[in-house]
Amino acid sequence: MAQILVVDDEIGIRELLSEILSDEGHTVRVAENATRAREARIRARPDLVLLDIWMPDADGITLLKEWASNGQLTMPVVMMSGHATIDTAVEATRIGALDFLEKPIALQKLLATVKRALAQQEGRNSKVLSIVGLGKSASLIEFKKRVSHAANIGRSTILLRGEPGAMAEVYARAMHQQGMPWISATAVSAQSTQELNLQVAGGILFIDDLAHLSANQLKHVSFVASHIDRSKVRVVSFSTESPRRLIDERNYDPTLVSRLSEVVLTIPPVREHLEDVPDIASLMLAQLVDSRFCPPRRFAGAALAAMQAFTWPGNLEDVAAAVRTLASTAGAEEINADEVAEVLHQFSTENVRPQQSLILDGPLREAREAFERAYFERLLDQEGGAIARVAEKSGLERTHLYRKLKSLGIPTNRKDGAS
């Protein structure tokens, strides 16, 4: 269970919270003032801090600012007070507090808040990728520039469009600053809309699947979207479906959809920047090793070439799943090309067929061309030669598809219609 630090100058509060949380299986440490809390934080980082606002030597807001400025705000902090104003609570969340509990604290409210805070911290700890500094391809570099520009445009809402498996949160996190509140829409079904607006004030509300929000989540999102200017919150959403389909097929409120898609950015699928796959896979593997998920591991050059030659229909989620599988099952410290080929074959048998296996000992260019040739020939066979459908399935513009087929030596005298 979690290590929780309770900071409060009232001995009765410290003892009560310690007893309740200990009964839930957590390890609880207590501090009666800011000085003792500083000492406890230096000794070890807790998984969660419950921090009183009003204390004799220094108030909780001051201590929170101190931790944020010196890099020690690496754990969720929930503020507590019986006399705080709304302005004080908003200030705390802007500094980096995750939530706010009003005294006297109700038991169920306490337990729900602690559970939510720990779940969000676990989610942050499990992140394995950041696009900052990652990516040498022109398409990814250009997309990162657009993300950076969008992040600097006031408080406009941003809709990320992309294919399934795009791991949109990786890109959304690039807009997040240290100490800024970050709330995922998947974790907001329990609290009231007012509580949510307070928690996310000055930060980001991330919606990782706009097309599949529950009715309660949609209500929360609508409330936050209608108070964006007042609470200074930014809403970043991801959807595999277009705004028009959300309105026409899922009956979303057109006003809400328009409000959530002031800026629309399309995440490039992995197949459009395969040259980045070796760096991405290596980073994912290094962070799995750092987190002690697996013993020391590294990719052989031929193994990375094989991963780059694959088209990754499930995008970054497929890359992450393959890397985790290889990290868990590799027979030695160096992951070789044969192990990669076996995992890719199991990973997507429709995309790696035995009769189309790549010659991994050859040059990367030849291996990649062989794979692309087999991929497009198979798509053309499946679609009866209909170029329009092949373009749609492969995600390429039709003119780009024609050039690709020509470069691979595949005849283009095929049907151009959709039927």
pTM over 0.85: no
- Could you report the per-residue pLDDT of 240-279, keeping only the tens digit for each? 999 999 999 888 999 999 999 999 999 999 999 999 999 9
State yes or no: pLDDT of 102 exceeds 80: yes
- Could you report the per-residue pLDDT of 164-187, keeping only the tens digit for each? 888 898 888 888 776 677 777 765
Running DSSP on this structure, what letter comes out for residue 165? T
Q: Residue 404: which of 359, 353, 358, 369 has the closest Cα?
A: 369
Which residues lie below 8 Å from residue 209, measured CB to CB, with a gap of 6+?
Answer: 186, 238, 239
Distance of CA 324 to the CA centre of its chain: 17
pLDDT for res 398: 80
Q: With contact defined as beta carbons under 8 Å apart, do 162 and 242 qualify? A: no
What are the φ and ψ backbone dihedral angles of 276, each rounded to 5 degrees?
-85, -15
The terminus-to-terminus CA distance of the chain in angstroms comes to 58
State yes or no: pLDDT of 163 exceeds 80: yes
What are the φ and ψ backbone dihedral angles of 45, each rounded to 5 degrees?
-80, 120
- Could you report the per-residue pLDDT of 332-356, keeping only the tens digit for each? 999 999 999 888 876 654 443 433 4
Look up residue 384 and give its two tokens: 């009866």
157-to-150, 183, 193 alpha-carbon distances in Å: 9, 15, 19
More confident residue, 21 or 188: 21
Residue 161 banded pLDDT, cuts 50, 70, 90:
very high
pLDDT for res 355: 37
Question: Domain boundaries in the chain?
Answer: 3-125, 138-268, 359-419
HSE-CB at 18 with a 13 A cutoff on CA atoms is 15
Domain over 3-125 is classified CATH 3.40.50.2300: yes
In whole angstroms, give the CA distance from residue 300 to residue 284.
15
Weakest mean pLDDT among 67-76, 151-160, 203-212, 243-252: 67-76
pLDDT for res 174: 81
Taking residues 402-419, what's their average pLDDT? Answer: 68
* CATH label, 359-419, candidates 1.10.10.10, 3.90.1150.10, 3.40.50.1820, 1.10.10.60: 1.10.10.60
pLDDT for res 351: 43
Q: 138-268 and 359-419: same fold? A: no
Residue 230: which H helix or E strand, with range?
helix 228-231
